[in-house]
């Protein structure tokens, strides 16, 4: 999930992206006026790359004037003339910034990346100018100390406390010398995170496996061969071309009988940004973690993790490490037994070698077929993307009464993007939804939800959000539509859960709206939706064979259910290893002077049962924490699994489409955003705090 939308208040409350003297007339730059589009959606078809920087420069001048007016106001500082005024300042700047930064993930090129490099430090400087302004902070501090809290709503109280903490956590109490150091740190961190992501994208695009001998395709399903043939044709090559984008990489590793080619693909994937070239991310990692430590120390914290976790449900490094260690202990026995089972299967199939990491997907897939008669390729014809989309829309309708209407009069940034108007159960307009499904060279890997505009209420108007879901699903071929793997189907559910969090938002303030919540709470709305992936009553509505029209047979559904805890131990320790290395990088209390790989292995190895592959590394492609906002927060995926397992148990008890339960989840979680503490919201829905038991039982790690 990536959320880029922000106002001045998001800069204060902790979103550091990122003045300049170039002025631009509003009449000359489309970005500096109302867009004159339906719902004031971004006019992607008319914006030019050269528009962004002058528009940002001009919008910063406008935003600065709004902040200066707050500072110059001679009236006694109040919640309305200070906190609320800040919240709704800089809205144009936020709108423009959300467009350019979102496009840098979804449809970038070297010209846009160059612009981003120019504007990111300006935005960082601008945010610091606000956060470190002593006169402004004095007003905020006075309101925080003297406001009549009994007259403020719960949301206003949250905003007041969050605003004050945001200033403090962004350096407002520092000395002048330390403020200057803080400025330099945040500016460099902004640049380094951009460079980190650019390097991964460039490395991913730089590799292809070109096959001209059909014998080397042995084991690969026809759908993957067709996709590779189409990729080769687009590149004007003979034969088949495989890339490192996940829709090709994952099935190649799962089905290719050529061990040599699996090894080649694996090493290409796991050496990205770790080779001896100018795209190596190891020095960036060292610089990033040391700058984050320095930033935390300036603010009075012994580590960056301590700084981050102060504003999380987990609250402390000790609590996170206890949580991760408990799950690791609960997972290791199962993981070791699973490894033995896979090794025995490999030997029975004639493998006269020890298992290496490029063997794992290949043999685990064969074991899954043997144990459960579960073959993902046989499932794919039942998960045609168009039908899956209709099924997910149906789920949103059954749970929340939403309806979706595809429209063609909303501009898009690429021909692959589809737009939907989303309506609430009473017929009122709720949101725009952009769907962007397929990989391309200008798109980052993975899947995410983001917003071009958050929901908020201002001047009596409930401004509805512009929400986007971006994925990298299997593309259609000349012979078949886009057919999703079961993992891709659950990914769609996951990101759509984030989208519901954004679309169903109903708060007053944009920086408390939708997904603007604690990082270890934000995955609850996404992960709970994944639970419907194995519910027959739901699957029957859309899982239809694209050729025969046959519904997904009960036997296949049962195979999915029977196999969903297959390799639960190994899947658990894999996620935990990511959380452990993230916490290790951000728990350092002295500047890091070692090498990246040994440090990484020290913390990941206890959750890694296969031999280390020389020359490969994970941290250089760990964009979640070094470029994506999850620093000291990757544990949140497992944390949210505890929440979603516990929360879904209510639906299991009362019915997976139970309107009363769904309405409670909407009212107490989805619509509330960050307007109250997440545990308060969760307990209001669930009636109690969550426990780890539901997750262990669901995962098969505890009977």
Spatial CB neighbours of 688, under 8 Å, sequence gap ≥ 6: none
Q: Are 181 and 290 in contact (CB under 8 A)?
A: no
> Catalytic: 80?
no
> How many angstroms separate the CA atoms of 123 and 164, rounded?
21
Q: For the chain, first and last CA: distance in Å?
A: 33
Beta strand extents in 528-675 (DSSP E only)? none
Q: Are 4 and 451 in contact (CB under 8 A)?
A: yes
**Total number of residues shown for the chain:** 703
Instruction: State the sign of the Cα–Cα–Cα–Cα dihedral 201, 641, 631, 688.
Output: positive
Element (H, E) at 378: helix 376-379
Between the alpha carbon of residue 291 and those of residues 438, 451, 619, the distances in Å are 36, 29, 17
Burial classification of residue 260, based on how many CB atoms lie within 10 Å of its CB (0-12 exposed, 13-18 middle, 19 or more buried): exposed
Beta carbons within 10 angstroms of residue 662's beta carbon: 20
Buried residues in 390-409 as b, exposed as e (16+ CB within 10 A): ebbbebbebbbbbebeeeee
> How many angstroms separate the CA atoms of 587 and 296, rounded?
11
Element (H, E) at 209: strand 209-211
Beta carbons within 10 angstroms of residue 438's beta carbon: 19
From the candidates 198, 495, 523, 641, which is the catalytic residue? 495
Spatial CB neighbours of 153, under 8 Å, sequence gap ≥ 6: none
Burial classification of residue 36, based on how many CB atoms lie within 10 Å of its CB (0-12 exposed, 13-18 middle, 19 or more buried): exposed
Q: What is the DSSP letter of 252?
A: H
To the nearest 10°, report the CA torsion of 252, 253, 255, 260.
Answer: 100
Spatial CB neighbours of 531, under 8 Å, sequence gap ≥ 6: 644, 648, 651
Beta strand extents in 114-198 (DSSP E only)? none
Q: Are 280 and 620 in contact (CB under 8 A)?
A: yes
Give strand pairing partners of 405: 421
As annotated, the active-site residues are 495
């Amino acid at each position: 999930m990536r959320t880029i939308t922000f106002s001045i208040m998001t800069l204060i409350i902790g979103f550091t992206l990122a003045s300049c003297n170039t002025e631009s007339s509003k009449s000359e730059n489309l970005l500096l006026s109302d867009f004159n589009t339906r719902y004031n959606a971004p006019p992607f078809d008319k914006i030019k790359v050269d528009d962004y920087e002058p528009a940002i420069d001009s919008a910063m001048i406008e935003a600065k004037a709004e902040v200066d007016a707050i500072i110059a106001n001679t009236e006694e500082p109040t919640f309305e003339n200070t906190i609320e005024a800040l919240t709704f300042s800089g809205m144009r700047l936020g709108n423009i910034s959300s467009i350019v930064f979102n496009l840098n993930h979804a449809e970038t090129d070297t010209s846009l990346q160059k612009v981003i490099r120019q504007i990111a430090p300006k935005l960082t400087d601008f945010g610091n100018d606000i956060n470190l302004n002593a006169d402004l902070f004095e007003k905020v501090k006075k309101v925080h100390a003297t406001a009549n809290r009994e007259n403020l709503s719960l949301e206003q109280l949250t905003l007041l406390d969050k605003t004050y903490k945001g200033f403090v956590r962004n350096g407002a109490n520092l000395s002048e010398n330390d403020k200057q150091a803080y400025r330099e740190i945040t500016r460099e961190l902004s640049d380094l995170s951009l460079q980190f992501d650019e390097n991964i994208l460039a490395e991913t695009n730089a590799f292809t496996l070109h096959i001209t001998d059909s014998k080397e395709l042995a084991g690969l399903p026809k759908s993957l061969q067709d996709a590779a043939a189409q990729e080769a044709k687009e590149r004007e090559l003979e034969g088949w071309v495989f890339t490192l984008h996940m829709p090709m990489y994952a099935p190649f590793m799962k089905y290719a009988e050529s061990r040599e080619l699996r090894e080649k693909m694996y090493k290409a994937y796991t050496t990205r940004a770790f080779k001896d070239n100018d795209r190596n991310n190891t020095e960036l990692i060292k610089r990033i973690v040391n700058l984050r430590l320095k930033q935390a120390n300036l603010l009075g914290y012994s580590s960056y993790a301590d700084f981050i976790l102060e504003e999380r449900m987990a609250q402390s490094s000790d609590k996170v490490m206890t949580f991760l260690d408990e799950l690791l202990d609960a997972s290791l026995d199962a993981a070791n037994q699973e490894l033995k089972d896979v090794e025995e299967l490999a030997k029975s199939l004639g493998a006269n070698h020890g298992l290496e990491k490029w063997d794992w997907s290949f043999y685990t897939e064969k074991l899954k077929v043997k144990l459960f008669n579960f073959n993902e390729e046989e499932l794919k014809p039942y998960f045609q993307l168009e039908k899956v989309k209709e099924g997910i829309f149906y789920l949103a309708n059954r749970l929340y009464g939403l309806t979706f209407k595809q429209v063609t009069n909303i501009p898009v940034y690429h021909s692959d993007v589809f737009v939907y108007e989303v309506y609430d159960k009473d017929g009122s307009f709720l949101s725009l939804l952009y769907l962007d499904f397929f990989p391309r060279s200008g798109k980052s890997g993975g899947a995410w939800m983001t917003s071009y505009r958050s929901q908020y209420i201002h001047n009596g108007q409930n401004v509805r959000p512009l929400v986007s879901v971006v994925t990298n699903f299997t593309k259609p071929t000349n012979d078949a539509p886009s057919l999703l793997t079961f993992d891709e189907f659950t990914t769609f559910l996951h990101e759509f859960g984030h989208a519901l969090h954004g679309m169903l938002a109903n708060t007053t303030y944009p920086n408390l709206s939708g997904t603007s919540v604690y990082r270890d709470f934000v995955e609850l709305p996404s992960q709970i939706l994944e639970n419907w992936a194995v519910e027959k009553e739901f699957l029957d509505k859309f899982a239809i064979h694209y050729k025969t029209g046959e519904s997904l047979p009960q036997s296949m559904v049962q195979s999915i259910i029977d196999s969903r805890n297959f390799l639960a131990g190994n899947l658990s320790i894999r996620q935990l290893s990511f959380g452990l290395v993230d916490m290790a990088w951000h728990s350092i209390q002295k500047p890091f002077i070692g090498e990246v790989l040994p440090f990484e292995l020290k913390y990941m190895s206890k959750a890694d049962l296969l031999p280390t592959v020389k020359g490969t590394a994970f941290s250089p492609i760990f964009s979640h924490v070094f470029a994506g906002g999850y620093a000291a927060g990757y544990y949140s995926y497992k944390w949210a699994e505890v929440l979603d397992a516990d929360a879904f148990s209510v639906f299991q008890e009362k019915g997976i489409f139970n309107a009363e339960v769904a309405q409670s989840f909407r009212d107490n979680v989805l619509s509330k955003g960050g307007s109250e503490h997440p545990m308060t919201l969760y307990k209001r829905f669930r009636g109690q705090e969550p426990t780890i038991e539901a997750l262990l039982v669901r995962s098969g790690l505890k009977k």
